[in-house]
Amino acid sequence: MGSSEVAVELYVLLSAVLFIMGAMGVLLRRNAILVFMSVELMLNAANLALVAFARQWASGAGHLMVFFVMTVAAAEVAVGLALIVAIFRTKKSIDIDNLHMFKG
Amino acid sequence: MDNFFDLVPLVVLIPLAGLLINLFAGRQLGERGVSIVAVGASGMAFVIAVLLWIAQVNTGYKAAVIDMPILADWIVIPSANVTIPWAFRVDSLSVTMMLAVTGVGTLIHLYAVGYMHGDERFPRFFVYMNLFLVFMLILVTGNNFLMMFVGWEGVGLCSYLLIGFWFDKPGGVGWRNSDAARKALIVNRVGDFGLVLGVLITFWTFGTLDYYREGEAPIVPHAAAEEGAPLFAPALPAEEEAHAISGPLGVFNQAELWLEKGGHNVDFGMVSLSFETTLTLITLLFLLGATGKSAQIPLFVWLPDAMAGPTPVSALIHAATMVTAGVYMMVRANVFYHAAEFSSFVVAAIGATTALIAGFIALGQWDIKRVLAYSTISQLGFMVAAVGVGAYAAAIFHLVTHACFKALLFLGSGSVIHGMEHGHHHATHGHAGHADDEFDPQDLRFMGGLKERMPVTYWTYLFGTLAIAGIIPFAGFWSKDEILLDSLKAGVDKGLLSGYVGFVLLLTAAAFTAFYMWRQVSLIFLGKPRHAAAAHAEESSRVMTVPLIILAALSLLIGFINVPSGFPILGWLLGEHQFTSFLEHSVPYAHAGTFSFLLATFAVLLALGAIYLARSVYNDRALAVLREDPLALNTRTQRAFTLANAKLYWDEFYFTYVVYPYRNAAYWLAEQVDWRFLHDYVHERLLRDPFNAATRALTWRVDKQIIDRSFDGLGHAARRAASRLRRIQTGYVHIYAMSVLFGALLVMALILLPLIRDWLGL
């Protein structure tokens, strides 16, 4: 491949596709685990865009941001999965349509 | 010897110190300590007065004006050019008054030690007595009318405090006592109103209130001419010396200068009065003050009631000193009175009428002290009449002699009351339950035959009686005779109506005096005891009888200080009119009395005749079975006695025509003006109702309908908005996520839209 570098537009496009897939997943899926995974997908889509632009502009700031996002995502997974386990134990279901106790 | 004058503040400060000691340490000192302090203070003041007299004699009767330390700039208002210093004046008149006040005062203090023995408020009594001395001495020593006024009000206060001293006696007596005290104070307000107005007009007229400035001697421009030949060397007739004083003159010399020049007018803003008219006004107002303080018609009614106080108070304040303040004041203002002929006429008329009427009322009284009270009013009438006919020296002379013999009579009556109470206690002791409620130790009807039981009191009382009756050679003879002769001379020589009228009235009053005094002596001392109390009465203790003896000696001897010119033997022996000569140095219009053998004989015979008449009316047979006064039993004198006994219905007259109308007017004003008009109309109709209407309007229209509704509306709106907005909170996570997404998209669109527009070139 060498000289023929992949254009940054493609990375961004892929990132956008992944993001939209994640967003659709969040909006449309009923299973909490899957919603959760979709959120992860959106985060990583953003990560991809950040890395792509970082490379485009030869700046370390994007890489740095990505590490932060990955750290936060890991923490989120830990907290989120724990919540889901707790919810499952009480409601015997992780269908988020059953979870509307906060209805105003 | 000059610097004896500087001692004059002490004459006030020593009694002040005495009263302060007794005020703060009286309880600790005990009766003995209190007596020593109070009598000592009074005695030391007397010693100072004697030293001042010596200083007077040694300096040729020079008047001195001594500033009070600390208080020298008493009232200073620079912007209005007002300076009223607290300055004492030592001249022959003030020294005479000081000697009389402190001399008689000391004897009465001493007597009171015995009289008040065992009283629960013993220290307080002597605090008041010393306070009285302080104010009385301020009154007579002040060098301006304002100081005199301070003393004048102060002695009035002491009079009030001491009349009501036994305000808590049981059985309603305490009420009567405090009523008497209030009556004295209120009646004196009327007189003081006149005095203060007179002082204010004096100030307006002269711009100062000083009698004379320091170093200023009285000018006597007319005196020599009026008297014919000058009988005495006038007191430093230093007209040029007076003119040499820088700054304004004292009121009296200024008055002389204006009178001499004539045509001076006094501007009162709206009206302008001639100086002579102003003087008449001032002197009439002063006279009103004197009728209050010196118990003359029409304001004398308080003095008989003032006898509710302890007897030493009656002697000191209501006989010897305070009540003579009015006479002192008018003699002090002799320059004014000499110039104001109409006022002098009024003064003479009031004095002589008072002397006669009070003497008449005294004939029909049963209370031993009331007789003496009316007698005091009568004698004060003599003094006032003397002022009215221009016999200023005679007025002060009678003041001095009267202070001695009337103090003696009062103290004697106190001794009798004491003896009667003692006898009553003794008589009812043993027969328990036999307490006759009708017994009154002051009622003459219960006495009789005390001559044997109380010999010292009897003999001293007899001296006082002979003195007041005017029997030669007792003191009253000299002073009363001088007043009678001066009054007659004012009629004959100067053609004054007041002189003739005054002479007749005073002569009649003198006959009454002798009659009622002998009636009293008969009822108290002669005959047989008419009550067990009188039979068991005992002579008073030494501390009470010694002052009686001293005063009796004074009543006999003090008249010799002013033997009239032309009196055989004595005039040559003792010097003629010594006292008048002394007084003339400060009272420019004092003139010496001459002697008329005819008049003196006639007056003495009249007095002796009255005594003989009294003796034959109140003979032993009448005294033995005294139920009613012999005068009341005789059909010819019955009406007169009833009138005298009822005090001529004078109090009733005041109640009917002054007190009740005044009270009814007050009730009417309270009902109509205060309640109906002010309360019902102004307060309720004009203020309360509109206020209520306004607040009601504000409450409903503004508070409830505007403010409350606007805030309630806000609350309702918030709640309605909230109830709508809550519907969008569904609880479904994906709906929230969707709104987040659309929000993000919206933000993106807002950011990108300008870029797209630019890119498209729109």
- pLDDT tens digit sequence for B741-756: 899 999 999 999 989 8
Q: Which tokens sit at B238?
A: 């230093």
Q: What is the pLDDT of residue B83?
A: 82
Mutation target for B interface from A21, A27, A101: give the one with most B CBs within 10 A.
A27
Long-range contacts, B260-266 (Cβ 8 Å, 24+): B260/B221, B266/B204, B266/B205
Taking contacts as CB-CB distances below 8 angstroms, the residues of chain A near B741 are: 23, 27
CATH number of A8-93: 1.10.287.3510
Residue B433 predicted with pLDDT over 50: no
Distance (Å) from the C-alpha of residue A31 to the closest C-alpha of chain B?
11
Taking contacts as CB-CB distances below 8 angstroms, the residues of chain B near A99 are: 731, 733
- pLDDT tens digit sequence for B12-25: 999 999 999 999 99
Q: Do A104 and B727 touch (CB under 8 A)?
A: yes
Q: Do A100 and B727 touch (CB under 8 A)?
A: no
| Selection from B328, B194, B338, B140 nearest residue B252 by Cα | B338
- pLDDT tens digit sequence for B315-337: 999 999 999 999 999 999 999 99
Rg (CA), chain A: 17
Please list, in sequence order, all residues whose beta carbon lies within 8 angstroms of the beta carbon of residue B480, skipping any fewer than 6 positions away: B382, B398, B470, B510, B603
**How far are the Cα atoms of B4, B49, B134, B373 from residue B53, in angstroms, in the given order?**
9, 6, 19, 31
Confidence of residue B761 (pLDDT cuts 50, 70, 90): confident
DSSP symbol at A98: G
Helix (H, G, I), strand (E, B) or coil at B739: helix
Between B104 and B63, whose confidence is greater? B104
- pLDDT tens digit sequence for B278-319: 999 999 999 999 999 999 988 999 999 999 999 999 999 999
Q: Do B729 and A99 touch (CB under 8 A)?
A: no
Please list, in sequence order, all residues whose beta carbon lies within 8 angstroms of the beta carbon of residue A81, skipping any fewer than 6 positions away: A36
Q: Across chain B, what does the average pLDDT equal?
A: 88
Helix (H, G, I), strand (E, B) or coil at B144: strand
Distance (Å) from the C-alpha of residue B704 to the closest C-alpha of chain A?
34
Measure the CA–CA gap between A41 and A27, rounded to whole angstroms: 13
Neighbours of B185 (CB within 10 A): 18
Q: What is the pLDDT of residue A3?
A: 47
Taking contacts as CB-CB distances below 8 angstroms, the residues of chain A near B727 are: 104
Taking contacts as CB-CB distances below 8 angstroms, the residues of chain B near A35 are: 733-734
Tell me what the mean pLDDT of segment B256-278 comes to.
88
Measure the CA–CA gap between B324 and B290, rounded to whole angstroms: 9
Domain-wise residue ranges, chain A: 8-93
Residue B230 predicted with pLDDT over 70: no
Measure the CA–CA gap between B210 and B249, rounded to whole angstroms: 8
Between B249-253, B348-352, B690-694, the lowest mean confidence (pLDDT) is in B249-253
| Selection from B69, B206, B89, B213 nearest residue B148 by Cα | B89
Q: What is the pLDDT of residue B236?
A: 43
Asked if B370 and B304 count as a contact pair (C-beta separation under 8 A), the reply is yes
Residue B8 predicted with pLDDT over 70: yes
Neighbours of B598 (CB within 10 A): 9
pTM above 0.90, yes or no: no
Chain B contact residues (CB < 8 Å to A): 726-734, 737-738, 741
Mutation target for A interface from B723, B727, B730, B734: give the one with most A CBs within 10 A.
B734
Residue B228 predicted with pLDDT over 60: no
Q: Which tokens sit at B139?
A: 């009154």
Tell me what the mean pLDDT of segment B459-473 comes to.
93
Residue B666 predicted with pLDDT over 90: yes
- pLDDT tens digit sequence for B338-351: 999 999 999 999 99
| Percentage of chain B lying above the pLDDT 90 cut | 57
Q: Which residue from B726, B729, B734 is facing A27, i.e. has the nearest CB?
A: B734
**Residue B244: Cβ-neighbour burial (10 angstroms; 0-12, 13-18, 19+):** exposed
- pLDDT tens digit sequence for A32-48: 899 889 999 999 999 99
- pLDDT tens digit sequence for B636-657: 888 888 888 888 899 899 999 9
Q: Judging by DSSP bridges, how do beta strands B265-267 and B64-67 pair with one another?
A: unpaired
Taking contacts as CB-CB distances below 8 angstroms, the residues of chain A near B726 are: 104
Tell me what the mean pLDDT of segment B45-61 comes to.
90
Tell me what the mean pLDDT of segment B579-594 comes to.
84
Tell me what the mean pLDDT of segment B67-79 comes to.
81
Residue B224 predicted with pLDDT over 70: no
Residue B482: φ, ψ to 5°: -65, -40
Taking contacts as CB-CB distances below 8 angstroms, the residues of chain A near B730 are: 100, 103-104
Q: What is the pLDDT of residue B527?
A: 86
**How far are the Cα atoms of B64, B516, B519, B591, B610 from residue B624, in angstroms, in the given order?**
59, 19, 14, 49, 21
Asked if B373 and B314 count as a contact pair (C-beta separation under 8 A), the reply is yes
| Selection from B591, B589, B566 nearest residue B579 by Cα | B591
Measure the CA–CA gap between B199 and B286, rounded to whole angstroms: 8
Taking contacts as CB-CB distances below 8 angstroms, the residues of chain A near B719 are: none
Taking contacts as CB-CB distances below 8 angstroms, the residues of chain A near B731 are: 99-104
Among residues 29-88 of chain A, which lie with CB inside 8 Å of chain B?
Answer: 35
**How far are the Cα atoms of B161, B229, B304, B327, B445 from residue B417, in angstroms, in the given order?**
22, 53, 17, 30, 13
Question: Number of CB pairs < 8 Å for A and B?
Answer: 32
Distance (Å) from the C-alpha of residue A27 to the closest C-alpha of chain B?
5
Q: Do B731 and A28 touch (CB under 8 A)?
A: no
Q: Do B732 and A27 touch (CB under 8 A)?
A: no
Please list, in sequence order, all residues whose beta carbon lies within 8 angstroms of the beta carbon of residue B499, skipping any fewer than 6 positions away: B348, B389, B487, B488, B489, B490, B491, B492
Residues of chain A with pLDDT below 70 are: 1-4, 104
Q: What is the pLDDT of residue B246?
A: 54
Q: What is the pLDDT of residue B365?
A: 92
Q: Say if A21 is an interface residue toward chain B (CB within 8 Å).
A: no
- Which helix or strand (DSSP H or E) is residue A67 part of? helix A61-91
DSSP symbol at B682: I
Angle of CA points A41, A42, A45, to nearest 5°: 85
Q: Do A100 and B737 touch (CB under 8 A)?
A: no
**How far are the Cα atoms of B115, B165, B421 from residue B180, in angstroms, in the given order?**
21, 11, 22
Q: Say if A23 is an interface residue toward chain B (CB within 8 Å).
A: yes
Q: Say if A28 is an interface residue toward chain B (CB within 8 Å).
A: yes
